[in-house]
Amino acid sequence: MGGLILALALISCGGGGGGDTDRPTNIFLRLPFAGEWIVVPPPAESPHVILWTLDPAGGGAANGDHPAFGRPVLAPAAGRVGAVVGDVPDHAPGEPDTAHPWGNHVILDHQDGEYSVLGWLAQGSLTTAPGDTVYPGQPLGRCGNSGGGDRPAIRFHLSLHPSGKPAVVSHFRPYSVDGSRVILGIPAPGERTATLWKNRRFEDEGS
C-alpha cells in the first residue's frame, strides 16, 4: 500500500479506568492523518491515548530531521472546537516538556458527549479557534514536538468530559490493516493502518 508510512503508539494520559473508559465509541472516528501508518506497541499501563510518528526507532537531533514534523493533523470527526492551545514552543527531540504533557492541542466537542483531544501540534500551526465547526478530515494544525514526547508526533485521545480528562478507549472506522478492510476496531501493534474515509472537501483542498 502506498502513501506515508508512520507509526502509531498507545500512551496513557492518566486518570480513569474501567467502566465507561472501555465502552465502544459512539461516533464514527476516522484516523486523523493521510497515508499508511504502522502501529507500535504501547506501554502496558497506558491503553487509551494514541501517538503517531514517522520514525519510531529514532531520528535526528533537530525537529526538521524528523519526517513527521509539519505533517497535517486532521479532525477525526465533525464537531465544534472547544479549548485550543497553540503557543507552547516545540522542544528539541529527546527533551520532553513534562510541564505541558499535551503541548499545543485542540479539543473537539462532537456534540454527543464525546470529545477528541489532538495534541503535540507545532507551535503556531493551529488553523481553528474556539467555536469553529469542523468536518471530518479538516486540517487542524501540523504535527509538532510541543508536548511530553521525545520526538515529533501526533497525540490523540477521546474523553467523555469537555476538559479532555480522563481518556477512554477509541474505536476507529472504517480503515484498512495491511490492505484488508476493518469496519470497526482499534489498531494493534505491528499493523499497517490507513483510513478508508473519503472526504471530497479535504481531498479537493489538497492539504
Q: Inform me whether the pLDDT recorded for 123 exceeds 90.
A: yes
**Selection from 85, 107, 87, 96 nearest residue 147 by Cα:** 96
Instruction: Identify the CATH class of 5-205.
Output: mainly beta
Cα separation values, 92 from 47, 57, 151, 155, Å: 26, 16, 8, 17
| pLDDT confidence bin for 52, thresholds 50/70/90 | confident
CA 28, CA 176: separation in Å to the nearest integer?
A: 15
Q: Inform me whether the pLDDT recorded for 139 exceeds 70.
A: yes
Q: How far is CA 164 from the centre of its chain?
A: 13
* Three-state secondary structure string covering 93-110: CCCCCCCCCCCEEEEEEC
Cβ atoms < 10 Å from Cβ of 93: 21
- Write out pLDDT tens, residues 77-110: 999 999 999 999 999 999 989 899 999 999 999 9
Show the cell assigned to 129: 479557534
Q: Inform me whether the pLDDT recorded for 203 exceeds 80.
A: no
According to the model, what pLDDT value does residue 200 have?
45
pTM of the model: 0.83
What's phi and psi for 148, nearest 5 deg?
-90, 15
